[in-house]
Structure 1
Amino acid sequence: EAAKAAAPVFLCPPPGDVLWDEYMKPLGITAPDLARNIGVLEGRVNDLLSGDTVVGVELSLRLARYFSTAADFWVHLQLEHDLERARHKLGDQIRREISPRISAK
């Protein structure tokens, strides 16, 4: 039986993990509570927590207002997570296919 390859460990967790671990769980906030307080559907919060949706600028603004974070905090978490996943998935291929342009002096 072939051993399964270990899932990659990402240094930048998905925003839903940060939302749950650093904000909702310590503060005792449920998904329905958060959804009601930031004006979105409960399903959207659940999808974010499960990693089935991403943080866009509107959701970032809503979360930032509610949790008193910087306006770009949540969208930057998403960007960093996405970049890390892309580097893991495509980085070697892109380095093989594309040579850096050498600037003329």
Structure 2
Amino acid sequence: MSVANMPAIHPGEILRDLYLEPLDMSAGALAKKLNVPRTRIERIVTEKIGITSDTALRLARYFDTTPEFWMNLQTGYDLKVEAERMHDEIDRIPVHQAA
């Protein structure tokens, strides 16, 4: 399967499957460590909301990653979802050829 044909992966799935589950950590426990409302992390890992820059900064600090890692996951997801939704409309836009 090519990257273009892969389904959009919500960053909450990454957070849940690759970070929380291996640590046997609940969303509530992570929220407490990050000093954010429990519902914020719960809604991210259930893929109901995205990751904001505020949350990305906190996740990066706690998991020793970068804020860009978390924001790139979110941006990639958002672009994939919008590309699927807007496919027909985007296809009707002509491509400008540079001189």
TM range (shorter): 0.7 to 0.9
Once residues 67 and 35 of structure 1 are traced to their aligned partners in structure 2, the CA distance between those partners, rounded to angstroms, is: 13
CA offset digits 1:15-68 (Å, max 9, x no partner): 110001000000111111100101100000111011111111111010010001
Give the 4+ runs in structure 1 shifted more than 2 A: none
Unaligned runs of 5+ in 2: none
1:14 lines up with 2:10 in the alignment: yes
1:100 lines up with 2:95 in the alignment: yes
Match of 2:38 in 1: 42
Q: Larger C-alpha radius of gyration, 1 or 2?
A: 1
Paired residue for 1:27, among 23, 28, 32?
A: 23
**Percent of residue pairs bearing the same amino acid type:** 33
Aligned residues: 95
Give the partner amino acid of 1:86.
E
Once residues 19 and 29 of structure 2 are traced to their aligned partners in structure 1, the CA distance between those partners, rounded to angstroms, is: 13
Give the partner amino acid of 2:94.
S
Match of 2:69 in 1: 73
Match of 1:57 in 2: 53
Give the partner amino acid of 2:89.
Q
Name the SS of the counterpart of 2:86 in structure 1. Answer: helix
Give the partner amino acid of 2:20.
M
TM-score by length of 2: 0.88
